[in-house]
Amino acid sequence: MKLLVTGGAGYVGSVCAAVLLDRGHEVVVVDNLSTGNRDAVPAQATFIEADIKDVAASVLDGGEFDGVLHFAAQSLVGESVIAPAQYWSGNVVTTIALLDAIRASNTPRLVFSSTAATYGEPDRTPITESMPTAPTNPYGATKLAIDHAITSYADAYGLAATSLRYFNVAGAYRGFGENRVVETHLIPLVLQTALGQREKISVFGTDWPTPDGTAVRDYIHVLDLAEAHILALESAQPSTHRILNLGSGTGFSVREVIDACARVTGLPIAVEDAPRRAGDPAVLIASSERAMAELGWSPVNTDLDVIVRDAWTYLQNLGDRSHAAKSTV
């Protein structure tokens, strides 16, 4: 297939682009490099440096693409609270422009990078797709709005679409992994602390109703995530918009993640206990039963040490390309 990957210079987008190329697909990446890294774009991909909303129509017109994987987004929860206009424009307005270009070019398939943040603070786990959506920040709200827009485009214009709601993505694939200017994810933060790029890791809340008192989250390996995107493309049906959760179905606490990082690295990790953060649920675990049933997908790399090891190997190999290392200079 010939596929357009938006945001293909970012973490998940670059891994998915690399896996698609490894499977023999033709890949065109569009990324404005506002948060992505040029060296994260696979060498075999055609790269266009631009904002997708400005070039979607020209790129897709006459290109005979078989599908679009849409990763490009503003994705920092805290930033979305203080700069909501940036998120409504960068996420929703941009995606509507892309959807219009998909419609005009008769591109048949779309896979959208959605998020578990659409559920807000659910009162029970595992989280299923039938549970209420109640995002607690503009980031989650914009992703939910896009899900609604995709449903209407599928109904009216015959688009074959899938929204994949990720939980905590981690790990790496070959030379592709997580290298953000602003890092908010636990595993890379802990590993950066082990490397001395951060002074310590803060544990927000040690009195949660969990076995060790720290919050529990569902971690999915980025390679398993990429596999789900390929299966979603292959099984897409016209006039149908599927919304599927992607997680491992297993929860690991903050303490367990820190312990795994210490085991894998063999290095000491400075830890500071801190108060709970407002809005943090005690436990977030996905039910991926619908994805398993509809895609024939199941996560393979579910061992926490494997996820951490792959992320650690990638981080060590970054060298002077690491944004975290540069910030300590």
State the DSSP string of 109-175. Answer: EEEEEEEGGGG-S-SSSSB-TTSPP--SSHHHHHHHHHHHHHHHHHHHH--EEEEEEE-EEE--BTT
pLDDT in tens, 100-132: 999 999 999 999 999 999 999 898 899 999 999
| Cα gap 208→200, rounded to integer Å | 21
139 noted as active-site residue = yes
pTM of the model: 0.95
From 22-31, 88-97, 274-283, the region with the lowest mean pLDDT: 274-283
pLDDT of residue 168: 95
| pLDDT at position 263 | 98
At residue 326 the predicted structure's pLDDT band, cuts being 50, 70 and 90, is low
What value does the mean pLDDT of the chain take? Answer: 95
Q: At what angle do helices 254-265 and 186-194 cross, to 10 degrees?
A: 40
Distance, in Å, from the CA atom of 80 to the CA atom of 69, rounded to the nearest integer, reads 23
d(CA 37, CA 8): 9
Give per-residue burial for 293-318: e unless 16+ CB within 10 Å, then b: eebebebebbebeebbbbbbebbeeb
Question: What's the mean pLDDT in 202-206?
Answer: 97
Main-chain dihedrals φ then ψ at residue 202, nearest 5 degrees: -95, 135
Higher pLDDT, 300 or 325: 300
What type of residue is 166? Y
Q: What is the b/e burial string over 13-39, where b = at least 16 CB atoms within 10 angstroms of the residue's CB?
A: bbbbbbbbbeeebebbbbbbeebbbee
Average pLDDT over residues 304-312: 98
Return the beta strands (E) in 180-302 as ranges: 201-204, 216-221, 240-246, 251-253, 271-274, 283-284
Residue 244 · residue 290 · CB < 8 Å: yes
Instruction: For residue 121, give the amino acid letter.
Output: E
**Quick one: pLDDT at residue 327?**
58
Q: Give the pLDDT band (50/70/90) at residue 325.
A: low
pLDDT band at 146 (very low <50, low <70, confident <90, very high): very high
Q: Which of 139, 153, 219, 314 is catalytic?
A: 139
> What is the rounded CA–CA span in Å between residue 31 and residue 52?
7
Which pLDDT value is given to residue 62? Answer: 83
Q: How many CB atoms lie within 10 A of CB 156?
A: 10
Number of alpha carbons in the 13 Å side-chain half-sphere of residue 9: 17
Q: At what angle do helices 304-318 and 254-265 cross, to 10 degrees?
A: 60
What 3-state DSSP class applies to 15? helix
Summarize pLDDT for 171-199 with one digit per residue, the tens. Answer: 999 999 999 888 999 999 999 999 999 99
**Whether residue 289 has pLDDT greater than 60:** yes
* Mean pLDDT of the region 276-294: 93
Burial string for 88-99 (b: 16+ CB within 10 Å, else e) reads bebbbebbebbb
For residue 329, pLDDT beyond 50: no
pLDDT above 80 for 324: no
Q: Which of 153, 187, 181, 148 is nearest to 9 (CA)?
A: 181
Instruction: Evaluate if residue 21 carries a pLDDT over 70.
Output: yes
Judged by average pLDDT, the poorest of 61-65, 171-175, 284-288, 307-311 is 61-65
Nearest to 191 by CA among 108, 273, 274, 268: 268
289 burial via Cβ count (<10 Å: 0-12, 13-18, 19+) = middle
Q: Average of pLDDT values for 53-57?
A: 97
Q: What is the pLDDT of residue 279?
A: 82
pLDDT in tens, 214-235: 999 999 999 999 999 999 999 9
